[in-house]
Amino acid sequence: MLLVLLVVVVLNFLMLHLAPGDIADTIAQTMGGADEQDMAELRKQYGLDQPFFIQLFNYVVRVALLDFGHSHFYNLPVFDLIMERFPATLLLVFSAQILSLFVGILLGVYAAQNPNGLSSLFVNMFSLFGYAAPVFWTGILLLIAFSLHIPIFPVSGMRDITIESGNFFVHFFDVLRHLFLPMITLASIFFAYYSRLCRASMLEVLGADFVRTAKAKGLSKKDVLLKHALKNSLSPVITFAGLSFSAVVSGAILVETVYSWPGLGTLAFNSIISRDTPVLLGILIFSTLMVTVGNLLTDLTLKALDPRIKI
């Protein structure tokens, strides 16, 4: 896990290094040009005159000490900026992932009992939709439908600023109301995949001998399905969910931009517009961290489901 982060940091540095122009150029441009001597001075100030590996080492050390540089647009340290937005993204990503897993598994189990029925057709149709519809477009359509035409949900943001006082529950439901559409949008891609996978794996398990034994033993249909079959069919779904984590984070960036959700995605969007590269690189590091933590949680869940798995 640490290795992954280290590689991201090194990759960041390499991209910065290889990209045309450096900090000195940017500063010189905003100053309206500088002569050779000033440029050399600037490069020295930012350590750009050092050998490649020393620069790399310095960069890694700085990142390890949580110094991601300075955002020239917000005039704040990048780390503070990211920490401020990080919880919102975390909330969106994990709630969407959990919702899509829950609904996907439920639908998959239901469809597996009737492999050629309507529900199976629905699962297949929906997974096609999830693959083909770009998530930001789904988001805009939901926004048009449920915030503009039928104004049930707020258009953007995470909190209603008119609510100042009130107890915990008032704030909780306020955030929930704002979260609903972004969460549904993000979950709509993945629950289709999960339900399709769960249906397939459930169908396989339902044909296994131990399910026949359980039925022969006289267990009720519900017990056979939920206690015996489901537990054994979950591991491919969970594995796939773990692999999808990076895609969920990527999707979250687009969804946040649509709903102006105050997380890393909108920050990334703004930093592209304002050419705020340090922020973008910091977000890349942080979201990789989020994905690796997500993967770790997946592995732990898999282990809890199947004690034979060793981490």
DSSP string, 91-116: HHHHHHHHHHHHHHHHHHHHHHTSTT
Q: Are 82 and 286 in contact (CB under 8 A)?
A: yes
- Closer to other proteins by CB, 52 or 172: give it: 52
Can you tell me the distance from the alpha carbon of 5 to that of 20, in angstroms, rounded to the nearest whole number? 25
Tokens of 164: 């100042």
188 contacts other proteins (rule: CB under 8 A): no
Residue 296 sits in the site that holds other proteins (CB under 8 A): no
Q: For residue 93, what are its two tokens?
A: 């990503």
Residue 96 interacting with other proteins (CB under 8 A): no
122 binds other proteins (CB under 8 A): no
N-term to C-term CA, the chain: 13
Which residue number, 83 or 170, has a Cβ lying nearer to other proteins? 83
247 binds other proteins (CB under 8 A): yes
Residue 288, interface with other proteins (CB under 8 A)? Answer: yes
Query: 204 or 223: whose CB is closer to other proteins?
Result: 204
Q: Residue 15, interface with other proteins (CB under 8 A)?
A: yes
Of the pair 158, 290, the CB lying nearest other proteins is at: 290
Pairing, β 70-71 against β 76-77: antiparallel
**Member of 184, 198, 254, 267 binding other proteins (CB under 8 A):** 254
Of 167, 168, 140, which is closest to residue 156 (Cα–Cα)? 140
DSSP string, 171-223: HHHHHHHHHHHHHHHHHHHHHHHHHHHHHHHHHHHHTSHHHHHHHHTT--HHH
Q: Does 150 bind other proteins (CB under 8 A)?
A: no
Site residues for other proteins per CB under 8 A: 4, 7-8, 12, 15-16, 18-20, 128, 131-137, 140-141, 143-144, 148, 200, 203-204, 207, 243, 245-247, 249-251, 253-254, 257-258, 268-269, 272-273, 275, 277, 280-281, 283-284, 287-288, 291-292, 295
